[in-house]
Chain A
Amino acid sequence: MTVTVYVPRDSSALSLGAGEVAQAISKEASARGIEMRLVRNGSRGAYWLEPLVEVVTASGRVAYGPVTPADVPSLFAADFLNGGQHPLSLGLTDAMSWFASQQRLTFARVGIVDPTSVADYVANDGYQGLRRALSMTPQAIVQAVLDSGLRGRGGAAFPTGIKWKTVLDQPAGQKYVTCNADEGDSGTFSDRMLMEGDPLALVEGMTIAGIAVGATQGYIYLRAEYPHAYRALNHAIAAAYQARYLGSDVMGSGKRFDLEVRLGAGAYVCGEETSMLESLEGKRGEIRVRPPLPAIKGLFGQPTIVNNVMTLGTVPTILHKGAEFYKDFGMGKSRGTLPIQLAGNIKRGGLVERAFGVTLRELLYDYGGGSATGRPIRTVQVGGPLGAYIPASQFDVAIDYEALTAIGALLGHGGIVVFDDTVDMAKMARYAMEFCAVESCGKCTPCRIGSTRGVEVIDRILNGVESERNVQLLEDLCETMLQGSLCGLGGMTPFPVQSALKHFRDDFRARTRH
């Protein structure tokens, strides 16, 4: 029987040489006259082990990693095609504790299937959710999403079912489903991984959304920094059209749903939903004043769903397995699971999907294994560039929307950026202000001017110019930005700054620079 070998085409894996490894394996196999099937999967998310090569054996998938092209001849010599022992052996992939303890619902197929194959998708529970949805009334689909407790994974954590119901309740006419795939937050890559590793899950989720609210057109707004995801999505969409899961007669239901990808152009603020809609319309990404809500007047003035990739990518599971199944995971008002991203200075970085309630400490030490540099972890920033810095004394906090809010932090899109004890928190605060100044859409003064002032004030503090007075000025400035900004960019940039001031005040002492 022909052996199947998996080498990821995930862009992070490629960034570590997975492409060269795949080539080396093909070359060595043909040199040895061995026939094998090479599948380019997504990443399983254990990035410290990438490039991770897997071989299908009678007892399951066996993993080797991290593999370099130079290791390939010795892998063949060790008979890795039959699961042979090698210094890079990791055993059965599913038995590795890092994976075994995860609860992968949204990521159930990522790294497992061939992302280019509809057949593989269907063989692994794909399109079960849509099949179910097509047998339900629109109201019942929306109710299932509501009952599951699913909250938006893009940052604001708004109940998805309520948003969908608003769109459903608008009079019939042109409606849209848009997917926010702008994923601009540093420390986040779950959207990218799903789009590269299981793009049909997003396609299916958007189709269900369209069927639910009566929208016939979907757009995925993808950031320009993700060329690999762009190719993967376009490939998946074409394959779905071919197999009639998209188009004028979705799964023979007589219902239409069309889908296309639109590229952003390098503006962080376009991740904010109204800015994203402006950008989809081909305009400057300036924030719209609300009301009206996008659900009532969204894209081209029509009722529009805006949801994050993770939100929409989770919908098929909810429809397939039922709202109760999903809701049984999690704690309090945070139901289900969250794909958490461990990033930055962490030994075992990557994707950990767990039910809400797992603690930061478990993530950082049990999964993450501490810092990459081996030094103590001093702080983590959760929720992207607008998220607060959390000091080590608060690492017992649970991953739960309300628990994080209670300590003045936020969960955002679930990215955790780790810093060791060499981090300079005044510098990080300065960067937060600088980033806001670079990315401001310019509509409101506190954000546009305030952020530039923020950088200057921090510079004065560090240069020892009236430090006390300038710290006070910085605090006032944060307050002004909090109160006087139209959107989260200006309105939340104070969070990292204030948290740095609160927990790491010593870093704001004057220093002499040479």
Chain B
Amino acid sequence: MMQTLPPTDTDTVRRIVADLKGRPGPLIEILHAIQAALGYVPEGAVPVVAEGLNLSRAEVHGVVTFYHYFRRSPPGKHIVSLCQAEACQSMGAEGLTSHAKHHLGVDFHETTSDGQFSLEPVYCLGNCACSPAAMVNGRLYGRLTPERFDALIAERGLKK
């Protein structure tokens, strides 16, 4: 069954579509704007966008699911993305990743039970001369150690 959006969110999505639909090839721009406003792209936004752009729901759904960046469920308050790519692997990303999973008590694509932290894999942040790297809410970190990881989580208030 199609999940419906709360009316305020529907209004937000409608407004975004109205603002951006005149631009060339607007769908991805619209999805970015929805995610920026709501934190994710809810299933219920798909028909609203489809209607606004005169596309089928399947087409919009196909685009949402193609891109790793678009989330289909609400994230935690903080999004922690750990780089898994080669340069970071060469500097111990694997160990850091297991530490992070253990420390937060979640696996990739999961959110801590207090709703504070979502853990995501990412494939290169362009910080490969300062590996291993991570990004927290758009802020980049380099040369991470388990201790520095714990500290940056503690700053943001992990309840343990």
A47 touches B123 (CB 8 A): no
Q: Tell me the complex Cα distance, A184–B29, Å.
A: 20
B86 touches A225 (CB 8 A): no
B74 touches A (CB below 8 Å)? no
A342 touches B (CB below 8 Å)? yes
B125 touches A (CB below 8 Å)? yes
B18 touches A (CB below 8 Å)? no
- List the B side residues contacting A264 at CB < 8 Å: 67, 69
B131 touches A (CB below 8 Å)? yes
A343 touches B133 (CB 8 A): no
A282 touches B90 (CB 8 A): no
Query: Hey, what's the 0/1 contact readout for B131-150 against A, CB within 8 Å counting as 1?
Result: 10101001111110000000
Query: Taking CB as reference atom, which chain B residue is nearest A14?
Result: B140
A186 touches B123 (CB 8 A): yes
B96 touches A (CB below 8 Å)? no
Pick the contact of B128: A280, A281, A343, A435 (CB < 8 A): A343
A183 touches B91 (CB 8 A): no
Minimum Cβ distance to chain A for residue B17 (Å) = 12
Q: Tell me the complex Cα distance, A14–B127, Å.
A: 10
Q: Tell me the complex Cα distance, A372–B135, Å.
A: 22
Query: Taking CB as reference atom, which chain A residue is nearest B133?
Result: A15
B45 touches A (CB below 8 Å)? no
Query: Hey, what's the 0/1 contact readout for A244-268 against B, CB within 8 Å counting as 1?
Result: 0000000000000000001111111
A41 touches B (CB below 8 Å)? no
B142 touches A284 (CB 8 A): no
A227 touches B (CB below 8 Å)? yes
B129 touches A228 (CB 8 A): no
B112 touches A (CB below 8 Å)? no
B27 touches A (CB below 8 Å)? yes
Query: Hey, what's the 0/1 contact readout for A1-27 against B, CB within 8 Å counting as 1?
Result: 000000000011011100000000000
Chain B residues 111 to 135 lying within 8 A of chain A, measured CB to CB, are 122-131, 133, 135
A280 touches B25 (CB 8 A): yes
Query: Taking CB as reference atom, which chain A residue is nearest B70?
Result: A265
Query: Hey, what's the 0/1 contact readout for A46-79 against B, CB within 8 Å counting as 1?
Result: 0110100000000000000000000000000000
B69 touches A224 (CB 8 A): yes
Q: Tell me the complex Cα distance, A349–B67, Å.
A: 31
Q: Tell me the complex Cα distance, A268–B129, Å.
A: 20
B14 touches A (CB below 8 Å)? no
B151 touches A (CB below 8 Å)? no
A417 touches B90 (CB 8 A): yes
Q: Tell me the complex Cα distance, A144–B88, Å.
A: 40
A185 touches B124 (CB 8 A): yes
B128 touches A344 (CB 8 A): yes
Minimum Cβ distance to chain B for residue A491 (Å) = 19
Query: Taking CB as reference atom, which chain B residue is nearest A186?
Result: B85
CB-CB under 8 A for A187 and B68, given A268-B123, A280-B25, A431-B89: no
Q: Tell me the complex Cα distance, A48–B69, Å.
A: 30
Pick the contact of A266: B69, B90, B127, B129 (CB < 8 A): B69
Minimum Cβ distance to chain A for residue B97 (Å) = 13
A16 touches B143 (CB 8 A): yes
A428 touches B (CB below 8 Å)? yes
A149 touches B (CB below 8 Å)? no
Query: Hey, what's the 0/1 contact readout for A363-375 against B, CB within 8 Å counting as 1?
Result: 0000000001000
Minimum Cβ distance to chain B for residue A78 (Å) = 26
Extra contacts besides A188-B124, A438-B123 (5): CB < 8 Å: A15-B140, A47-B130, A224-B32, A225-B125, A417-B86
Chain B residues near A (Cβ < 8 Å): 24-29, 31-32, 62-63, 66-70, 85-91, 122-131, 133, 135, 138-143
11 A/B residue pairs, CB under 8 Å, sorted by A: A14-B139, A16-B142, A50-B130, A186-B124, A187-B128, A262-B28, A300-B25, A343-B131, A344-B90, A381-B86, A417-B87
